[in-house]
Structure formats: C-alpha cells, structure tokens
Structure 1
C-alpha cells in the first residue's frame, strides 16, 4: 500500500469518517450559550461513543484546542482562537470598522452589529450593546438565516444569483408574524434593497425590535459586510437610517485607504 493510502486509512474510523470530521463535530457542539460542557455532553452532541469522545477531548486538550475548567468541564481553548485569528478574513474588517462602530453605538444607544455572508447565513463578527437595550438575539460568532434579519437581507440582496434562488426556494422559517416567508415578497424586498441601499425589518425576530442594515463595500465595490442597528420597534426607528449609512461609508473609506 502507498504512503498516501496508509495515511488515509489511519485518518479514518471504521465508519469511514475522518478524524478531522470528528474534530469539527466536537467543536460545533459548543454554542454561545453552552460554552462549557462535560465530556459526556460533548460526546453525545458530537455523536461519538463515550470512549472515543474522551480520547479526542484528551488529545485536543493536549494541543490547546480545548481546555478543562477546575470542575473538569471542557471549553474551547485559547490556542484555537490564536490560530484562527492569524489568518481570519474578518480580522482586518473588524479592526478597521471598530472606531466607526463605537461612534455609531454612542449615537444609537442600543445594538450595533457587523455581519458577513457565510453560506446561507449571516455570521456576526462584531456586536456592541448597552444596558437596558432592546432585546437582541445575536451575539459575536452567532448566525441567523439570511431572510430573517436586516443584515442577512442586505447580504442576500447582493449575493450571487444562485444563492438567492437557493434561499428563495425555501423553506423560509417564521420567527414572528412579521417574518417574511413568502418568496415573492422577499424577492421584491431584495430588489428594493439594491435600489434604496438599506432595509428596515420591523419585528422579524422579536416584535419589540427593529433591525436596520446597510451594505459595506470593499475597495472593489463588492459588498463585503453589512452594518446594522437593532433598536426599539417604534416610530423613531427610521431616524437611524441616515447615521447608519454614513457609518457604512466611513468604514468603506477605511477599507479602501492605503
């Protein structure tokens, strides 16, 4: 057997699943609300036998990808964050956008977010919040469906046509009575976003909250991200469109600067 064939055999379990696939499942078991898990919980969520899960956790702890708390619960290790940060495609975006986001947050007083397109979801790479702010389900490194959030709709409006059609084909999950679940209505909204340059989503994820988002373009005029605010669902919500658009233009200037 060739060396490559031998390595492929070693790297895969009896089920034909690679070690890397199992490592990814272990890491995906953590959520923003479940940041520390027992080895048993981790194994169950990853779909691994207890003995296999225990061995994998031990190996990942040894390499710093996972860490153990004093109570023996396991969490993502700082080594994983370190490695990911070295080549993160969103790192420079976050660093350049942060001064603008902080200023916008001081004006809004609720939530300011920065999201990027990742598959059929929006991935939030930054969020600034305040005490007593309106309810908001997003967190840093959290995801939402494209059709149900203001950032997601902006990104979807400027996404490749095949991705738009894939999302429009559904299913489009309903979170509140105001969530857009009709493909024809969503298609018209995407056209409006491209024409108007912003979107307002009143009560899409929670009846008390309004999301407003605008696109952020890179130096090639391609939409690289969406910046959004989450504010109370009232008659003053649309007052934030102008400062939000101005913030997006400032981020674009910083992205395009030498």
Structure 2
C-alpha cells in the first residue's frame, strides 16, 4: 500500500464508531469525504485482508482481524491483563463503574470498564475516546502529560466543560497542580438527572504514568473517605505489577 492508500484506509476505519457499527458504501463515502469509487476500492481491499467484513445486505463492519492485531497492543490488552484482577477487586468493593484509560494525544482512550447493569449511566465504552478535562481519568492523565499537551488543553478550555469546580483555565491549571501533588483526582459532574462523582489515580510503570484508574458513582452515594484510598491502592498495586513485569499477582 502506498502512503495515500494507508491514510485513506485509516480514514475509512475511523468512520466506524458506536453509532455507526455497520455502514453502507454511501455512509462510508459521506463520513470520509471520499469519492464513491475510492471508498469502494479501499473497502474491498480492507475486506480482502480481514480488516472489514461485508454483511449480506451489503453493509460493511469492522473485521475480526483488527481485534487480533489490537490484542497485541501493550498499552491496551497488555495493560488490561495486568490491571483486571485489581479492577475486579475494586469493582466488588465499591459496586460502581471502574474505568481504566490511557492518554492518546489530546484525549483519553478507555481500555476497560466494569459496570453493573443498574449502575449510574455513563456514555463511555471500551475503545472509545474520553475528554481529558471533564473526567477523572482524563484529569489524572492530563496532569501527568507533557507540558505541550497541558498548554493545548488550557488554551482550548471551554467554560462549563469541566463542571462547577473548574470554571476557567486558571482553575484547570491549579487543579492539575493539586492532582500532581495529591496523586489523585476527584471530579464532580452536576446534573439534575444524573449527578456523578469520580475518584481517579495514576498507574505507573518504570517510565512514568501510563494509565489512570477510576471509580464513578452517583454523587449522593460517593464516599471520598472510602473510594479515594481504594482507587489509589488499586492503582499502586497495578503499578507494582507493571514495574516488576508480572502479569498476575
């Protein structure tokens, strides 16, 4: 494949999301801006190698070959394999959502999520992207990100996107400093229907912060005296496993 074809292939794959899991050719053309003939040619080539599959009705879906390849990503499934036993413990102790995320440029990417069927609703899905400034895991990752990433977040800050506690870019800068000092974040999202609070902590390997772990609970049920220490303890346990190179306890 030439460079142009690789870019078009990734653009086409990137057009799939949780609301567009199966797309006809017209959908691929519309969402990528490609000419119909180009989108069809790229889709056929991706289908031939298993990156896409074609349904009986002609629509395209993401192929299993991508799952096989993605399972080798050390910041995805490798991290998940180490973290999962501790995430399960945290989930059983709290009974609320447990999230594990990594930073991907100026966003967070959700690696794993444990939830009960009756937990407070959240929109985040495994493999989905999460804002850095408006979530607990995002704030932890942003607080430990390189300076240029933090400055872009501060420059692009939109009032209201981070909740009542962070109203301005200066508030965000102070919050990031507090998160680095305390080694955890508490983020509150006020909502008449669904107020929720998050406690998050960094996960480290020998090179620094590689992920963030959090518990998300309805605000009336959130107990910082219980959840913050529990999240920090789980994050430290995962960090020890990553630093020692062990995949289990």
TM-score for the superposition, normalised by structure 2: 0.90
* Structural mapping, 1:211-230, within 5 Å: 211-220=198-207, 222-230=208-216
Superposed displacement of residue 83, structure 1: 2.1
After TM superposition, give the deviation of residue 27 of structure 1 in Å: 0.6
Written as runs of structure 1 = structure 2, the 5 A alignment for 1:102-141 is 102-141=88-127
Corresponding position: 1:159 with 2:145:
yes
Alpha-carbon distance in 2 for matches of 1:72, 1:237: 50
> Structure 2 matches for 1:197-208, cutoff 5 A?
197-203=183-189, 207-208=194-195
Give the match's secondary structure for 1:147: coil
Q: Partners of 1:224 and 1:88 in 2: how far apart?
A: 11
Say whether 1:254 aligns with 2:241. yes
Query: Contact between 1:121 and 1:144, CA under 8 Å: does it hold in 2?
Result: yes
Contact 2:135 2:162 in 1 (8 A): no
2:39 maps to 1:21 = no
2:227 alignment partner in structure 1: 240
1:63 is aligned to 2:16: no
Aligned-pair distance for 1:22? 0.9
In structure 1, which of residues 133, 139, 150 is the aligned counterpart of residue 136 of structure 2? Answer: 150
Q: Is the deviation greater in 117-126 or in 197-206?
A: 197-206
Q: Is the 8 A contact 2:121 2:194 kept in 1?
A: no
User: Is the CA contact (8 Å cut-off) linking 1:97 and 1:251 kept in structure 2?
Assistant: yes
Going from structure 1 to structure 2, the CA distance change for 1:174 and 1:144 (only over 3 Å counts) comes to farther
Cα separation, 1, equivalents of 2:81 and 2:58: 35
1:88, CA displacement in angstroms?
4.1
Note the alpha carbon deviations across 1:94-152, whole angstroms, 9 max, x for none. Answer: 10001111111111212101011111111111111111100112111111221111101
User: How far apart, CA to CA, are the structure 2 residues paired with 1:144 and 1:204?
Assistant: 18
Cα offset, 1:215, TM superposition = 0.6
Secondary structure class of the residue paired with 1:243: helix
What is the match of residue 90 of structure 1? Answer: 76
Equivalent-residue separation in structure 1 for 2:130 and 2:236 (angstroms): 24
Q: For residues 176 and 121 of structure 1, do their structure 2 counterparts lie closer, same or farther at Cα, with a shift above 3 Å needed?
A: closer
- Alpha-carbon RMSD: 2.1
Q: How many residues align?
A: 243
1:235 positional shift? 5.5
Which stretches of structure 1, 4 residues or more, deviate above 4 A after TM superposition?
Answer: 204-207
Contact 1:90 1:125 in 2 (8 A): yes
* Ranges in structure 1 where 5+ consecutive residues have no aligned partner: 1-6, 13-17
Q: Which residue of 1 aligns with 2:166?
A: 180
Which ranges of structure 2 fall in alignment gaps of 5 or more residues? none
| Structure 1 residue 36: Cα displacement | 1.1
TM-score norm. by structure 1 comes to 0.87
> In structure 2, how many angstroms separate the alpha carbons of the residues matched to 1:26 and 1:204?
36
C-alpha spacing 1:173/1:30, structure 2 compared with 1 (3 Å):
farther
The aligned counterpart of 1:210 is 197
